[in-house]
Amino acid sequence: MNPVLDMAAAPDWQTGDMTPSSSGASRHEAHLREALALARESLEKGSSPIGAVLVDGSGKVIARGRNRVGEAQTAERVGDASVAHAEMDVFFQAGKLEDPQDLTLYTSLEPCLMCGGASALLEVGRIVWATADPWGGSGRLLAWSDHPAMQETDIVPCPLPELETEGASLFAPEAKRAFPDKGWALWREKYPEETEGVQAGQR
Ligand SMILES: [Zn+2]
């Protein structure tokens, strides 16, 4: 295994200037709730419970997406592939982005290295997520603040505790199913109440 990917000690995006601002957190609520609703839809369809929406500077949703790894690919939607993550679904739907610096990507779960990298490549102005992913999230492998492509992206992790809890409970069975023991251990440590007694999800 790549030693970087096997790294136990995580850089922490929750330190320094990456701490989410508590002021104005409620303006994120509706979009994070929609991302969580899309995550539940993925679960019902047999994919991983992760959803995302892309919002323009006026607050209008310009693309909606959700994880589709367990579903067939169609002409309209990426699917049936390990890369069919919610954020990639959003980006395929959105097509060529205009004024990406004015856009905010809302996700139910902290983006992985692929989706974080794609967001940076597309120059999305801000990323907001409901729940941290202490194993699969980019932050374990590369501090968001250190990513060379992320210097222009505003990162807002977990601005609303109630939704953070909701997202953790929703994803916990998938985390137990999909992650190795040490990944699940990180989830237990980060979200002890939400992971208590959780059984591995089925797909
Ligand atoms: Zn991803």
Q: What is the mean pLDDT of each run of 10 residues along the chain (203 residues)?
A: 39 40 75 98 96 96 96 85 93 93 97 93 95 95 78 92 98 97 98 95 78
pTM: 0.86
CA 192 from centre of chain: 20
As residues whose CB is below 5 A from the ion ligand 1, the structure lists 85, 112, 114-115
d(CA 111, ligand 1 centre) in Å: 5
Element housing 55 (H / E): strand 51-55
pLDDT confidence of residue 25: 81
CA distance 19 to 6: 25
d(CA 110, ligand 1 centre) in Å: 8
Sign of CA dihedral 4, 169, 126, 34: positive
Q: Which of 147, 149, 160, 142 is nearest to 100 (CA)?
A: 149
pLDDT confidence of residue 116: 92
d(CA 87, ligand 1 centre) in Å: 6
pLDDT confidence of residue 155: 92
- Please identify which of the residues 87, 164, 166, 174 carries the catalytic annotation: 87
CA 122 from centre of chain: 16
d(CA 184, ligand 1 centre) in Å: 18
CA distance 162 to 16: 23
- Residue 87 annotated as catalytic: yes
pLDDT confidence of residue 152: 83
pLDDT confidence of residue 8: 40
pLDDT confidence of residue 81: 80
Burial class (CB within 10 angstroms; exposed 0-12, middle 13-18, buried 19+) of 167 = buried
CA distance 37 to 14: 26
d(CA 50, ligand 1 centre) in Å: 9
CA 200 from centre of chain: 20
d(CA 137, ligand 1 centre) in Å: 8
Q: Which of 96, 136, 100, 99 is nearest to 116 (CA)?
A: 136
pLDDT confidence of residue 10: 39
Q: Which of 57, 59, 39 is nearest to 131 (CA)?
A: 39
